[in-house]
């Protein structure tokens, strides 16, 4: 669990603080067995310098076992180590696992309570005051065990719950980091797809026409220089249109007040002016977020350009209606149509499908030979 590495410093500093407090209390009392006391605290200090997080499980288990055994023996010798016990329970949760930590609490419980009781008996026997009979009273023993057991289990439970919360929080952060990386990767893919659509919508058709005109000029430059010159002039015009269309696309992407109804009306007027199409429209779409409005605009633009280039139609109609739950756009022409099962799914139609899917909608195509074509886009509000 590499995400636990910073906790090694936390445990180390915590144990050093506890040991410093214990040593300070011992120095103020200066017990007769102070050499043993400082030797034990020195051993705990050495153990605290290690945190075998990346070691194999048996070595981590041995480390926790040695620490807990040393703490119980120190307690039996009358050396304060209560806080170190619970710190090492927390360590066992991080270094091992939840079951092992619970097992450690259960295994240490008996020896710890016995050492506590024997330490109290030793203290009473060393006391110059008369030994109260209650020390050896079975009722007093039961009361002592009950109180000690309650305190032990309460402190142990709190320690394990706190450790579990930290582990869960750290694991959540790790998962969040992984999800963030996945989102960044997905965002990059979506951005590449978006740029591909924008290039296709703003440049694809114009560049195709430009390539055709240049090919015509190459073919005719020797046999018919005048017609070749006309093709070059038309190519120059297409270049200007390409630049203008790119500029408009960038402006649309940057605008925060994109008016979808006006943009679609302008698009339809341009289609009527630059072709023999008789165009009708009925639009009353609601105010939508800029991103959604722009995607709808690109879908309709692709559909209109397909009609101009491939349908051989004389009439085009666009209707935008709104229901309580959906936005419905119908675009219909009276062109040559196609067989639906053999309809060629070009990059344009694929781009429309992808945009509709991004908006959570559906694209339906109805067509037949000599029956025109109808595209219906249904989007949730």
Confidence band for 276, pLDDT divided at 50, 70 and 90? confident
Q: What is the mean pLDDT of residues 265-275?
A: 85
- Of 49, 60, 69, 71, nearest to 93 (Cα)? 60
Give yes or no for residue 254 having a pLDDT over 60.
no
User: In 3-state terms, what secondary structure has residue 331?
Assistant: strand
CA separation for the pair 88, 64 (Å, rounded) = 7
* CA 298 to the chain's CA centroid: 29
Stretch 245-254: mean pLDDT: 61
Of the given ranges (85-89, 116-120, 207-211, 236-240), which has the lowest mean pLDDT? 207-211
Q: Check residue 270 and give its pLDDT.
A: 84
The more confident residue out of 114 and 256 is 114
So where are the chain's domains? 2-136, 258-381
Other beta carbons within 10 angstroms of residue 211's beta carbon come to 12
pLDDT single digits (tens) 41-84: 888 888 888 888 888 888 999 999 999 998 888 888 878 888 88
Q: What is the pLDDT of residue 187?
A: 58
Residue 191: what pLDDT?
Answer: 58
The share of the chain scoring above pLDDT 90, in percent, equals 13
pLDDT of 3 reads 42
pLDDT digits (tens, 9 = 90+) for 322-379: 988 899 999 999 998 887 776 655 557 877 888 898 888 999 988 888 888 999 999 9
Please, which pLDDT band fits residue 94 given cuts at 50, 70 and 90?
A: confident
Q: What is the pLDDT of residue 124?
A: 56
pLDDT value of position 381: 82
For residue 7, the surrounding DSSP H or E stretch is helix 5-29
Helix axes 98-126, 138-199, angle to 10 degrees: 150
- Measure the CA–CA gap between 195 and 212, rounded to whole angstroms: 24
Neighbours of 79 (CB within 10 A): 22
Q: Give the model confidence (pLDDT) of 101-121 as tens digits.
A: 999 999 999 888 888 878 776
Q: Is the model's pTM score more than 0.85?
A: no
- Average pLDDT of every residue of the chain: 79
Q: What is the pLDDT of residue 21?
A: 85
Instruction: Tell me which of 59-73, 125-139, 264-278 is least confident.
Output: 125-139
d(CA 296, CA 358): 11
Class of domain 258-381: alpha beta
- What confidence score (pLDDT) does residue 235 get? 74
Instruction: Note the pLDDT tens digit of each residue in 6-19.
Output: 677 888 888 888 88
Rounded-to-5 percentages of helix, strand, coil across the chain? 70, 10, 20
């Amino acid at each position: 669990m590499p995400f636990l590495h910073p906790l090694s410093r936390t445990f180390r500093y915590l144990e050093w603080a506890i040991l410093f407090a214990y040593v300070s209390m011992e120095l103020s009392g200066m017990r007769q067995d102070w050499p043993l006391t400082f030797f034990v605290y020195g051993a705990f200090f050495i153990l605290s310098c290690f945190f075998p997080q990346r070691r194999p499980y048996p070595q981590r288990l041995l480390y926790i076992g040695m620490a807990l055994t040393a703490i119980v023996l120190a307690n039996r010798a009358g050396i304060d180590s209560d806080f170190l016990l619970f710190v090492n329970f927390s360590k066992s949760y991080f270094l091992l696992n939840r079951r092992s930590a619970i097992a450690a609490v259960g295994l240490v419980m008996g020896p710890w309570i016995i050492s506590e009781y024997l330490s109290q008996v030793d203290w009473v026997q060393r006391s110059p005051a008369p030994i109260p009979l209650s020390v050896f009273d079975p009722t007093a023993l039961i009361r002592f065990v009950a109180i000690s057991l309650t305190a032990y289990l309460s402190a142990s439970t709190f320690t394990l719950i706190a450790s579990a919360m930290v582990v869960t929080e750290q694991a959540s952060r790790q998962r969040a980091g992984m999800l963030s990386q996945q989102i960044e990767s997905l965002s990059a893919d979506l951005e590449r797809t978006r740029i591909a659509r924008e290039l296709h919508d703003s440049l694809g058709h114009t560049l195709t026409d430009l390539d055709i005109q240049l090919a015509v000029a190459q073919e005719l430059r020797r046999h018919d220089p005048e017609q070749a010159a006309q093709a070059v002039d038309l190519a120059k015009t297409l270049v200007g249109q390409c630049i203008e269309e790119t500029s408009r696309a960038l402006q649309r992407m940057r605008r925060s007040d994109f008016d979808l109804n006006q943009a679609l009306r302008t698009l339809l007027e341009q289609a009527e002016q630059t072709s023999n199409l008789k165009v009708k429209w009925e639009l009353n779409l609601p105010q939508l977020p800029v991103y959604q409005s722009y995607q709808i605009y690109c879908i309709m633009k692709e559909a209109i350009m397909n009609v101009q280039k491939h349908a051989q139609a004389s009439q085009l109609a666009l209707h935008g209606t709104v229901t309580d739950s959906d936005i419905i756009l119908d675009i219909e022409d009276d062109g040559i149509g196609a067989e639906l099962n053999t309809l060629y799914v070009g990059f344009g139609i694929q781009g429309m499908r992808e945009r509709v899917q991004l908006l959570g909608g559906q694209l339906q195509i109805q067509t037949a030979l000599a029956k025109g074509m109808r595209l219906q886009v249904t989007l949730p509000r």
